[in-house]
A and B are shown apart, each in its own frame.
Chain A
Amino acid sequence: MKILSLELATERAGVAFVDTDCPEGYLEETWEEARARHGELLPALDRLKRRGGWDWRELDLMVAGRGPGAFSGLRAGLLTVAFLAAPGGTPCRFVSSMEAAAKAWLGEQQQAQAMVIGDARRGHLWMGLVEADYGSPPCAWELIPGEQFATRRPTGLPLLSPHLDRILALAGADAIGLNPTPEATARLAWQREKDRAPAEPAIPLYLHPPV
């Protein structure tokens, strides 16, 4: 299966072309996105497409990460995938960015579970318990005040986060750095597609109410 994947949940943004018939074979373009404008998204995608030489009609699936993460990036990723996919009617799938990254990390480390947290702004953290098993249901992310994390942290589990400095300041938590990647996001989406798992909605994991 050939998959195009976009991951814009954090400042470390990326696009990847993944061919699941070649487990080690994928192409990726990454960049630092500081202004949340994602002006580099299409140039990166264009470079990826030229490098890979694939055609839109070859794609079996298009994927974008739902976060949790920066709202503007998540919106840009979801809409870009939806509007790229529409003309060819390519199937789309949207999965949690950090869940995908954590599953890939757990697989490499041969561990079963990890707690994943990040800075949700406004004094809050988002957190979720991620299972290594790709067949597990989507992670149930929750939003908690930063000061409550100490009482909620499970013992004996690795703690992963893309925001090391911020969660240290907010919750005094010392974590292992982990950023979402478009390749990991593609592989989780592929597994869910193979399992015919229910689709997740094409909207970001905001967690915060809008007002």
Chain B
Amino acid sequence: MNDGLPASAPRILLAIETSCDETAIAVMDEKGHVPVHRIFSQIDQHRPFGGVVPEVASRCHVEALPPMLDEVIAAAGLDWSAIEGVAFTRGPGLATSLLTGMASARALAYRLQCPITGVNHLHGHAVSIRLTRNGGMKDIALPALILLVSGGHTMLLLEETPARYRLLGQTLDDAAGEALDKGAKLMGLGYPGGPEIEAHARTGDPAAFAFPRGLARNQEASHRYCFSFSGLKTSLMVLLKREPSLKESRLADLAASYQEAVVDALMLRVVDALDHLPIRTLACAGGVARNARLREKLSAAADHSGVALALTEPEFCADNAAMIAASARLLNTWADPVAADLDVLPGWGLGEDTGTPHH
């Protein structure tokens, strides 16, 4: 290391993700292969509250991180000196959770005398479409349209040059995953709501109930690729207030129809973008990208439009550290861990400045 910066790009990276309720550490080699990654999901700790409690999340990170580090290094069969760079999630996310990852990453990088980088969590999700289970990172034909859908975020991105993004639109209220969580709660299902709704939807009729699909298509230009899910949730609430017995008598139909409305609201904007933008790849990332119905519809849309399909592999859809390593690898912007101005950015967005994570 020269003045805190590497003479060349680090080969072996260790990445730490603590933006919300998953504690994750991964190792990535110089080819983008991820020999080991671990995720500790705190869902059981948050389930009693029906959602993520920031203080619970932060406490869980403190307990999970040190043993996970030892486990990852042992599983990778690495000597500590092999680690040449440390990446961590700098934002967006819960401030008290982000701070645990930053403290850990800075300490490790300082101890190993290697550089550090603070990664944008959303950028991590966006580049997760490149991750493969047993190979390195795959190439994506650009421009790519990326639907990023999770419990906290719903956005449509255009990747025109490698790992640089233009935000086409995003949700104006709830995220898609949040809409599924809230819908599941109204139906009396457990947390997290997405998998619960999906499980019940398998035997239901997606056309049984007519739920709204969010914003009308004749929106003003600035909202053309934006989403809205608050009306959908309200519609379900009104229906169940009028007919509460539906939760018992037609739960599968309710779940299937509600899921279909969420997926359709997403697909309306995706198809519009495919029809009007010069896109070569349709991609999807984030926790909701695991939803089988969404994957099926995205696949059909890609086929219909004649573009390549790049869906994040299910193992890398939820928050994970492999995607943080991938982002660090692609952006390759490193700093000295001693730099005092390295801080978390809880409200960090994703846009054209994402390639410059250090301010």
How many interface residues does chain B have, given as a range?
Answer: 20 to 34
**Among A36, A39, A56, residue most surrounded by chain B Cβ atoms (within 10 Å):** A39
Which residues of chain A are near B53, meaning CB under 8 Å? 210-211
Which residues of chain B are near A43, meaning CB under 8 Å? 338, 340
Map CB proximity to B onto A75-97 as digits: 1 under 8 Å, 0 otherwise. Answer: 11011111110111000000000
Q: How far is the CA of A43 from the CA of B110 in the complex (A)?
A: 10
Which residues of chain B are near A206, meaning CB under 8 Å? 59
Q: State whether the Cβ of A71 lies closer than 8 Å to any Cβ in chain B.
A: yes
Shortest CB-to-CB span from B63 to chain A, Å, is: 6
Residues A82 and B110 in contact, CB atoms below 8 Å apart: no
Q: State whether the Cβ of A45 lies closer than 8 Å to any Cβ in chain B.
A: yes
Residues B66 and A83 in contact, CB atoms below 8 Å apart: yes
Q: How far is the CA of A2 from the CA of B337 in the complex (A)?
A: 24
Residues A56 and B111 in contact, CB atoms below 8 Å apart: yes
Task: Out of B80, B103, B338, B343, name the residue touching A87 (CB < 8 Å).
Answer: B80
Residues B338 and A76 in contact, CB atoms below 8 Å apart: no
Residue of B nearest to A90 (CB): B111
A interface secondary structure, majority: helix
User: How many Cβ-Cβ contacts under 8 Å join chain A to chain B?
Assistant: 99
Q: How far is the CA of A78 from the CA of B337 in the complex (A)?
A: 18
Residue of A nearest to B53 (CB): A211
Task: Out of A36, A41, A87, name the residue touching B108 (CB < 8 Å).
Answer: A87
Residues A84 and B107 in contact, CB atoms below 8 Å apart: yes
Residues A42 and B65 in contact, CB atoms below 8 Å apart: no
Residues B110 and A46 in contact, CB atoms below 8 Å apart: yes
Q: How far is the CA of A98 from the CA of B338 in the complex (A)?
A: 28
Which residues of chain A are near B56, meaning CB under 8 Å? 210-211
Q: State whether the Cβ of A203 lies closer than 8 Å to any Cβ in chain B.
A: yes
Tally A residues with Cβ within 8 Å of B: 31
Q: State whether the Cβ of B142 lies closer than 8 Å to any Cβ in chain A.
A: no
**Among B62, B69, B110, B340, residue most surrounded by chain A Cβ atoms (within 10 Å):** B62
Residues A82 and B59 in contact, CB atoms below 8 Å apart: no
Task: Out of A39, A81, A87, name the residue touching B340 (CB < 8 Å).
Answer: A39
Which residues of chain A are near B3, meaning CB under 8 Å? none
Residues A75 and B103 in contact, CB atoms below 8 Å apart: yes
Q: How far is the CA of A86 from the CA of B111 in the complex (A)?
A: 9
Q: State whether the Cβ of A194 lies closer than 8 Å to any Cβ in chain B.
A: no
Evaluate whether A39 and B103 lie within 8 angstroms (CB atoms) in the complex, with A46-B110, A210-B55, A211-B56 already known.
Answer: no
* Cross-chain pairs A/B with CB under 8 angstroms, 20 sampled: A39-B342, A40-B340, A42-B110, A42-B337, A42-B340, A46-B338, A76-B100, A79-B104, A80-B107, A81-B107, A82-B69, A83-B104, A84-B111, A86-B69, A86-B108, A86-B111, A87-B80, A202-B63, A203-B63, A211-B53
A37-B344, A38-B99, A86-B66 known; 19 new pairs, CB 8 Å cut-off, are A39-B343, A71-B96, A72-B99, A75-B96, A76-B100, A76-B103, A78-B62, A79-B103, A79-B107, A80-B104, A83-B69, A83-B105, A83-B111, A87-B111, A202-B66, A204-B62, A206-B59, A210-B53, A210-B55
